[in-house]
Amino acid sequence: MRDYDDITSFLGDWGLFQRTIFFLLSISVIPNGYVGMSMVFLADIPPHRCKLPYLNGTGVHWNQSLPTQVINGEIIYSRCSRYKWVNTSRTEFLNDTESCLDGWEYSTERYTSTIVTEWNLVCEKDWKAPLSTSIFFVGVLVGCIASGHLSDRYGRKVVLFLTMALQTVFSLIQVFSNSWEMFCVLNFLIGLGQISNYASAFVLGTELLGKSSRVAYSTLGICVFYGLGYIILPLLAYFLRGWRMLLLAMSLPGLLYIPLWWFIPESPRWLLSQGQVEEAEAIIQAAAKKNGITPPENIFSEEESMEFLQLTSKKKSQHSYTYLDLIRTTNIRNVSIITFFIWMIVTIGYYGLSLSTPNMIGDPYINCFIAAATEIAAYILTWGILKCTPRRIAFSSTSLLGGAVLLLIQLVPSTELFPTVVRNMGVGVSCMASRTGGIIAPYIAFIGTYNKVLPYILMGSITIAIGLLSLFLPETKGLPLPEKISQVPPLTCCCSRTDPSPEIGLDDNSKRVTGQHSSSNL
């Protein structure tokens, strides 16, 4: 049977159909950029101190009522305690301190309200602010586990729009949260849609676009538009200083994506995998007409149509791979462990840095804007680097550089490794590992409220560690993708290049050389 890319080659590489799909799917992830980072402003902790209602009319200034403490080398008035007041004819305070029994007063210089000021998530409740973000990433973790199975069963398009609706609807409901517990439950549900929407858009785009467009789509498309969403966040937050209005402004644009349902088709590849040949052929014919091309009268031959119709029953008789296959042999087990660890640490560093922007020196809105703009530039640079640099060297060098920079701050005032039969599971488990890092990251950022240097030391150290660890992974640039578990190459020694494994092209059972590799792994 002919390869799908060969069958649809008459469509061309960059016609109106491909450009439309590239743009529409890319803009669908813009909300992911600002929703995923919104807690930077929604849960920021403004300067605060105990309320001192008994000082009204006494002539005593509040600085006589508060003890001092040292944070980041700076002497400030206590955020969580006050001197006990003695109600006598003369103004007097005891040396003993007490908690903020009358609540807190918050600075409104930067925000009119955040979820911290709304529900007093400070002092003995300060652990609740980072937990709010961690709960979001727990939702992302669950969504990561479920989205792949749902997408394979019900289709890429259905899951894409379902998760976009999930994210939009629950964000709108979250605006009216009347308790921290309600906010967190909704944050979990929003997280479910966050990664599923992004992953579905990514997969749908790579399956609808041709080979020559996929690398550009995965970097200049889906990633850059995510960065554009991120860069919108500080702009909205600057003009909307209350958390409810900011959240509402981020939620409403989701309604604008409803019309995209009629412009984005289902993946013909997925339809063919389900034996729905006529539906797949109709989409391909429509794409040809949009590109101004007359399609063949019969895109699929009768034999090919019969093979696709029998595909579902054939799958049942084939070997069923499970997550245990990711650790079945020594080579794939080593690759899996290192890859999962790398994904987790990268996510800790990424979200740890992003969520720490309010703790950095300078204006948090400018810090966030610069971080987002830098991210867009990095995606564009990555597109160029991946075209000409070995994968291991590209990842290791940037990780080492990033880790070194993080360590020096205190001085300043891939998926190609997994075989086709378990690639989706490998990416899925790696995604789960990265979401575990996302759950941890808010607490790395939270440390910065007490010590601005320590989070960067932690993130810098572990980033350098994975940069060195990644050098042991086998190189993949210019090598065919492994199809079977037996074809996974062993770990390598640092900077040496991995030669194609002698087992590449061997059947798992007979180890017979076939000399052929599928030209498409999708």
* Gyration radius of the chain's alpha carbons: 27
Structure tokens at 49: 């101190």
User: For residues 254 and 31, is the Cβ–Cβ distance under 8 A?
Assistant: yes
- Using CA atoms, how far apart are residues 453 and 411, in angstroms rounded to an integer? 9
> pLDDT over 90 for what percent of the chain?
19
| pLDDT value for 397 | 61
pLDDT bucket at 519, cuts 50 / 70 / 90? very low
Burial 436-460 (b: 16+ CB within 10 A, else e): bbbbbbbbbbbbbbeebeebbebbb
Q: What single DSSP character describes residue 257? A: G
Which residue did the predictor score with more confidence, 189 or 419? 189
Structure tokens at 417: 């490794």
Which residue did the predictor score with more confidence, 238 or 58? 238
289-340 confidence digits (pLDDT tens): 898 888 887 777 667 667 766 665 555 555 555 667 666 777 777 777 777 7
225-241 confidence digits (pLDDT tens): 988 999 999 999 999 99
56 pLDDT exceeds 60? yes
User: For residues 143 and 434, is the Cβ–Cβ distance under 8 A?
Assistant: no
455-485 confidence digits (pLDDT tens): 656 656 656 665 555 555 555 555 544 444 5
Average pLDDT, the chain: 74
Please provide residue 390's backbone torsions phi and psi, each rounded to the nearest 5 degrees.
Answer: -55, 145
Residue 68, phi-psi category: left (phi > 0), alpha (psi -120 to 50), beta (remainder)? beta
What CATH number labels 1-46+146-318?
A: 1.20.1250.20
- Using CA atoms, how far apart are residues 393 and 391, in angstroms rounded to an integer? 6
Poorest-pLDDT segment among 258-262, 336-340, 344-348, 391-395? 391-395
- Using CA atoms, how far apart are residues 203 and 273, in angstroms rounded to an integer? 14
| pLDDT value for 233 | 93
451 pLDDT exceeds 80? no
- Using CA atoms, how far apart are residues 222 and 202, in angstroms rounded to an integer? 7
pLDDT bucket at 444, cuts 50 / 70 / 90? low
| pLDDT value for 381 | 76
Range 251-266 average pLDDT = 92
415 pLDDT exceeds 50? yes
Torsion angle in degrees (nearest 10) through CA of 227, 229, 231, 232: 170
Structure tokens at 237: 């937050």
pLDDT bucket at 378, cuts 50 / 70 / 90? confident
- Using CA atoms, how far apart are residues 212 and 224, in angstroms rounded to an integer? 18
Q: Let me know the angle formed at the C-alpha of 457 by 452 and 462, rounded to the nearest 5 degrees.
A: 140
Poorest-pLDDT segment among 58-72, 130-144, 263-277, 381-395? 381-395
155 pLDDT exceeds 80? yes
Structure tokens at 123: 């002092």
Which residue did the predictor score with more confidence, 353 or 106? 106
**Cut 0.85: pTM above it:** no
